[in-house]
Structure 1
Amino acid sequence: MTSKIVPVILAGGSGTRLWPVSRDAFPKQFQPLVGEESTYQQTLRRVAAGPDFADPVVITSGAFRFFARRQASEVGADATVILEPARRDSAAAVAAAAVFAERRNPGSLVLALAADHVVLDDEGFREAVRAGKPGAEAGRIVVFGLVPTEPKTAYGYIRPGAPLGEDPDLCAVESFVEKPDAPTAVRYCTEGYLWNCGNFLFRSDVMIAEFRRYAPEILDAVEAAVGNAADDIGFVRLDEASFSRAPKISIDYAVIEKTREIAVVRCRFPWSDVGAWDAIWQVTGKDGAGNATLGDVELIGSQNCLVHAHGLLATVVGAEDLVVIASQDAVMVAPKNRAQEVKGLVDKLAKSGRREATQHRRDYRPWGYVEAIDAGARFAVKRIVVDPGGVLSMHRHLHRAEHWVVVKGSAILTIPGEAERVLGENQSFYVPVGTTHRLSNRGRLPLELIEVRTGGYLDEDDKEFPVDPTPAIG
């Protein structure tokens, strides 16, 4: 078999341990946590279409569909984006990848990758995939095991067995073991165990057969969801009623730790699942004092700190082994060795009803984004950016008026029954309560404007959508 490998990027997670940068509304895989691009974009570049790989398939939540499409386009990836209508963990996502690939091309080679991992040697990664390809073609599910650099207790481990061919790095799997305590992790490192990085290479028909053997209820739900999938403005939306029947379980528990058709490639490239801020510190470049920084940061007399600043200046004096994460609406400070506890902090914020637990100040839309600037009694100020070609849906507000000032670009304002209006920079317009209207950007540059809302109710759900003869996404 000489077909190209189909990369399937699993991009539906949330990543609350990296709060306040990663939140449910804009999670870590779409954020530039290490470098200028998101880990999702880095993953897409790593498996760019060419001699080894076909065009990618992305599986993500409907809430993230426009992030997925836009960021794929930015790195030149022609991705098919499949939308999960409910979160069902990785088993259902991998099953959907296998079923989708099998229906496109029976016996396809599929490489299932997490979108939120960091790999610091792309060619080393590709060499590992090529090493695993013969095993996958022969009907094995191939996992990738990293040679440990230290006795980590946060990872699962793989015990490799005898080599399966001429390549000594392609081996049988003797056992999978759960996250160990510290003494056990030390022993695993000395005995040649490997970190389980949670990525897989397999033939689509083989994975389907293993789901049928070990998790038939997941396969039944997913086959129905793929069979009844619908096109949604270029996305593939899985059938919600069918997909929701799938149990919520990881691929490791559902299939990988049960199947006998398993092999492992011993890998040596630098890797991290960046599960918490201390992991970000480990894979980020550092200054002479061991500090890793991103954004507008100034340090004095500090050592071994991680400082991320998003949209504001962050300063740290005389600190050691701290994580300092500053966003426009939240600041998180913690000792580096307690970074895993951020998830509990987010849970506490969510229980108290804090918007910051899940939402950013910037709310992304299909056409651009809306960013909160200020708010008070009966007013709210927003910054609105509309991408070139972006069009909002025709709508009206029942409880608020809107005042717009164009800061950059050119806006087209459409009100039914009136001539279209073109608003240039420094021009303004007033939209009274109850007026049906739409905004669009037909220019080649982003449109930026300041919106002042006034009225007794200012939330986003104050919106009605009259029948529109020329509907747009938004």
Structure 2
Amino acid sequence: MRMILLSGGSGKRLWPLSNESRPKQFLTILRHDERPESMLQRIWRQLSEANLAGKAYFSTSGTQGELIRGQIGAEAVIIEEPTRRDTFPAISLAAAYLHDRAGASRDEIVGVMPVDGYAGDEFFDHLRRLPSILEQSGSDIALMGAVPTEPSDKYGYIVPSSSPSPNQPYLRVSSFVEKPDLIRSEALIREGALWNCGVFAFRLGFLLDMLEQKGLSSDYASLSTNYEEMPKTSFDIAVVEQTRQLSVLPYHGEWRDLGTWDSLVRERSSELSGPGYISEASHDSHIINELEIPVSIWNVPDIIVVAGPDGVLVTDRQSSTGIKDMVAEIEIGPRFEERFWGKQTVLSHQQATSGLQTVTKRVVISAGRFISYHEHQFRKEVWTIVSGVGSVCIDGIMQTVNPGEVIVVEPGTKHYIGAIEGDLEFIESQIGHIVSETDIIRYEFPDSI
């Protein structure tokens, strides 16, 4: 079975640590063997242990490809959306890629799962059973459904049309209910409904045929070129809910969506992460602090305090579900960004009356990595090296830089910087009447250097 791993989202539900440049699946706030681990890394580790990572492909857009390679490694296979749409166009593009570029036959079974879920290791043993469920049931799509542990309005529900049988591991699907209220959730659970994990499998030819039936191309090159014309809708609405032959495999183990700060801190063994203090009377309170200044909670129970470069959040644990709406309403822009080569934080953005802008950033390049060879047409950059030893190339001339040194890069100058001894940290000032992330021309690094 080939796997399509969906990595998307706008990164607003776990603000201020997540943003459009670093959605929640990339936050390294879980732990495994006493080491920090992101949701993405956890899913990849579990897929690897289940021997499912060898034929896995990431579907994503924007800069997330860099983040995936930064956390998983350069071997990660990325199917990049030309622009962010929704799960129906994303899965369709990935399916066309598997057929046209990866050599998958129409009879091959394709599994789909998001990379921001949280499940026990046995979940992936169940995942490996989906191909046999497709075969046994004769279904077009086989889904995974988690047996609910409590009524919840956070999840969609799969309503079966049959009762469990000792001789039949799967159930037929009757309908779907999207995030009902708690009263309706209780009734659905009594009917045997399952949480919809967003995990399913189908034969590749099934989806390719459906694209043709909808008047859409199943050719990868054509889909990629005309991607913005694809319907911006979910795979559930466009395909799953329109398919009659559906089955679901019930899963009785650990599964949940870590989509709120309250659900996330339940998975953490420590109440304090980062510099800070929680008083004894502040029971069931948590601090997650990415800043270098201490954060303290004094005699306030049942709250969560999250501090990061994008801002500081203080929320009651039970009321942490509406943060996405708050972030959208006040249009909080991201100041922190992770990239394949490291991370950067915007410290200030000033504009003079003349229109001259100065953007100051703290940049950290991870050991052994580098920012590509490129130039800017409209801005000057000034780098002040803070720590580490780096390698710099200015218009083909190489030099080593150490703490305290200052490098000036004029507009129209090709340049490169990398970390050669430990992480390289520097303060970057971008100065110009136009300071934009689109002002960049990339080049191949000269072979002669």
Do Structure 1 and Structure 2 share a fold, with TM-score over 0.5?
A: yes
Q: Which moved more, 1:94-103 or 1:49-58?
A: 49-58
Give the corresponding residue for 1:353. Answer: none
1:210 shift after superposition: 4.4
Cα deviation code 1:231-279 (max 9, x no counterpart): xxxxxxx72x411111111111111122112110110121111222222
1:61 shift after superposition: 0.6
What is the 5 A alignment of 1:294-333? 294-300=273-279, 301-312=281-292, 313-333=294-314
SS in 1 for 2:63: helix
SS in 1 for 2:248: strand
SS in 2 for 1:450: strand
Match of 1:272 among 256, 270, 282: 256
Question: Residues 460 and 336 (structure 1 numbering): CA distance in 2 closer, same or farther, change over 3 Å?
Answer: same
Give the counterpart letter for 1:405 in structure 2. Answer: I
Measured in 2, the distance between the counterparts of 1:439 and 1:372 equals 20
Measured in 1, the distance between the counterparts of 2:242 and 2:149 equals 27
Give the counterpart letter for 1:127 in structure 2. Answer: D
Give the corresponding residue for 2:6. Answer: 10
Q: Which moved more, 1:277-286 or 1:18-27?
A: 277-286
CA contact (8 A) 1:412 1:442 kept: no
Measured in 2, the distance between the counterparts of 1:60 and 1:89 equals 10
Measured in 1, the distance between the counterparts of 2:113 and 2:153 equals 22
For the aligned residue pairs, the C-alpha RMSD in angstroms reads 3.0
The answer to whether residue 72 in structure 2 is matched with residue 67 in structure 1 is no
Give the corresponding residue for 1:450. Answer: 426
Question: Residues 166 and 125 (structure 1 numbering): CA distance in 2 closer, same or farther, change over 3 Å?
Answer: same
The answer to whether residue 81 in structure 2 is matched with residue 84 in structure 1 is yes
1:23 shift after superposition: 0.7
Give the corresponding residue for 1:31. Answer: 27
Measured in 2, the distance between the counterparts of 1:432 and 1:372 equals 19
Measured in 1, the distance between the counterparts of 2:335 and 2:390 equals 27
Question: Residues 390 and 266 (structure 1 numbering): CA distance in 2 closer, same or farther, change over 3 Å?
Answer: same
SS in 2 for 1:149: coil
1:92 shift after superposition: 1.4
The answer to whether residue 115 in structure 2 is matched with residue 136 in structure 1 is no
Give the corresponding residue for 2:152. Answer: 152
SS in 2 for 1:311: coil
Measured in 1, the distance between the counterparts of 2:195 and 2:63 equals 32
Measured in 2, the distance between the counterparts of 1:455 and 1:210 equals 52
The answer to whether residue 16 in structure 2 is matched with residue 20 in structure 1 is yes
* Number of aligned positions between the proteins: 430
1:17 shift after superposition: 1.6
The answer to whether residue 377 in structure 2 is matched with residue 402 in structure 1 is no
Question: Residues 305 and 471 (structure 1 numbering): CA distance in 2 closer, same or farther, change over 3 Å?
Answer: farther
Task: Identify, as 1 or 2, the structure richer in helix.
Answer: 1
Question: Residues 196 and 53 (structure 1 numbering): CA distance in 2 closer, same or farther, change over 3 Å?
Answer: same
Match of 2:322 among 337, 341, 350: 341
Give the counterpart letter for 1:395 in structure 2. Answer: E
The answer to whether residue 380 in structure 2 is matched with residue 386 in structure 1 is no
Question: Residues 47 and 244 (structure 1 numbering): CA distance in 2 closer, same or farther, change over 3 Å?
Answer: same
* Structure 1: runs of 5 or more not aligned: 229-237, 287-291, 351-356
Q: Which moved more, 1:332-341 or 1:50-59?
A: 50-59
Cα deviation code 1:173-229 (max 9, x no counterpart): 12222322222211222332111111112221223334555xx15xx15x24x134x
Give the corresponding residue for 2:394. Answer: 414
CA contact (8 A) 1:171 1:264 kept: yes
1:165 shift after superposition: 8.2
SS in 2 for 1:23: coil
Measured in 2, the distance between the counterparts of 1:283 and 1:469 equals 44
CA contact (8 A) 1:385 1:446 kept: no
Task: Identify, as 1 or 2, the structure richer in strand.
Answer: 2
CA contact (8 A) 1:400 1:433 kept: yes
Measured in 1, the distance between the counterparts of 2:11 and 2:440 equals 33
SS in 2 for 1:420: strand
1:88 shift after superposition: 1.8
Measured in 2, the distance between the counterparts of 1:24 and 1:401 equals 25
Cα deviation code 1:342-392 (max 9, x no counterpart): 112111221xxxxxx24133x344543333345667765433333425243
SS in 2 for 1:195: strand
Give the corresponding residue for 1:231. Answer: none
SS in 2 for 1:426: coil
Give the corresponding residue for 1:371. Answer: 345
* Structure 2: runs of 5 or more not aligned: none
Measured in 2, the distance between the counterparts of 1:402 and 1:23 equals 27
Kindly, what percent of the aligned residue pairs are identical?
A: 25
Give the counterpart letter for 2:364 in structure 1. Answer: V
